[in-house]
């Protein structure tokens, strides 16, 4: 029997079969490689300048963000719904950093094994929040496990970007293999985050049109220097959001 769309089983099955393709995409500086570099750089801009932060890489895939954060002296928990992705993240993590790395198979919508207010900061790239089947449940769980005043950096699909057409569709049912795609404007993600005690502070474009030739570092700088959302919303496929966990 085919798993129900947006179920843990359907999302797990979709990503278990995409490990090799996704690793290749992350190696492509014109594709997810650039997106991941933008996400990581934006997150690092807002991360406190302290080592030994306890960080969650939520929906880690093969572990791009978490590995870089480990190398900067942080303690990282890698979480993914897909055991195949999690195994790849584990195998790609350098042996010299594994004592500060923890691996947990879990759905971002239900992080029950993790205690309340456990992490100093959380990153979730690759539009995991948009593609997890229930963004509201995912944000609620992130808020639960994040310490007050902790930083949450995450990417979402851009409702006003080139992936959409008129009329705009906030949800594209079963656009992914086994899961819906959820699209957000800055206003709609601000409202949804507020419901989970998360305050959005800053928006960064991810994968702006037109593509930039040259070194990835130059393209990353271009994205991080874009300040007025009105100027880039129609050009950017995704948005990377920096939010802060509000105190009760």
DSSP 30: T
Q: What is the spatial distance between Cα 80 and Cα 64, in angstroms, rounded to a whole number?
A: 13
End-to-end Cα spacing for the chain: 44
Q: What is the spatial distance between Cα 43 and Cα 32, in angstroms, rounded to a whole number?
A: 16
For residue 144, how many other CB atoms are within 10 A of its CB?
A: 17
Q: How is the chain split into domains, by residue range? A: 8-245
Q: Is the peptide bond before 203 cis (omega within 30 degrees of 0)?
A: no
Please list the rounded mean pLDDT of every run of 10 residues in the chain (248 residues): 87 95 90 93 92 95 97 96 98 94 97 96 98 97 98 97 90 93 97 98 91 82 88 93 93
> The CATH number of 8-245 is which of 2.60.40.10, 3.50.50.60, 3.30.110.30, 3.40.50.150?
3.40.50.150
pLDDT of residue 146: 98
Residues 6 or more apart whose CB falls under 8 angstroms from that of 218 comprise: 212
């Amino acid at each position: 029997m085919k798993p129900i769309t947006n179920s843990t089983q359907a999302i797990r099955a979709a990503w278990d079969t995409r490990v090799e393709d996704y690793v290749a995409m992350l190696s492509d500086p014109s594709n997810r490689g650039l997106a991941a570099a933008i996400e990581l750089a934006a997150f690092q801009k807002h991360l406190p300048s302290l080592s030994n932060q306890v960080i969650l890489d939520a929906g880690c895939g093969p572990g791009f963000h978490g590995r870089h954060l480990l190398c900067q002296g942080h303690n990282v928990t890698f979480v993914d719904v897909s055991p195949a992705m999690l195994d790849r993240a584990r195998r790609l993590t350098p042996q010299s950093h594994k004592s500060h790395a923890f691996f947990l198979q879990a759905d971002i919508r239900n992080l029950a094994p993790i205690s309340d207010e456990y992490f100093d900061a959380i990153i979730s790239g690759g539009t995991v929040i948009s593609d997890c089947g229930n963004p509201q449940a995912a944000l609620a769980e992130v808020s639960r496990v994040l310490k007050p005043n902790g930083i949450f950096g995450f990417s979402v699909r851009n409702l006003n970007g080139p992936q959409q057409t008129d009329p705009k569709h906030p949800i594209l049912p079963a656009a992914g293999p086994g899961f819906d795609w959820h699209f957000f404007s800055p206003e709609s993600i601000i409202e949804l985050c507020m419901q989970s005690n998360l305050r959005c502070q800053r928006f960064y474009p991810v994968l702006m049109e037109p593509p930039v030739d040259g070194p990835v570092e130059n393209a990353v700088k271009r994205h991080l220097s874009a300040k007025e959302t009105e100027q880039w919303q129609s050009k950017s496929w995704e948005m990377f959001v920096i939010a802060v966990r509000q105190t009760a």
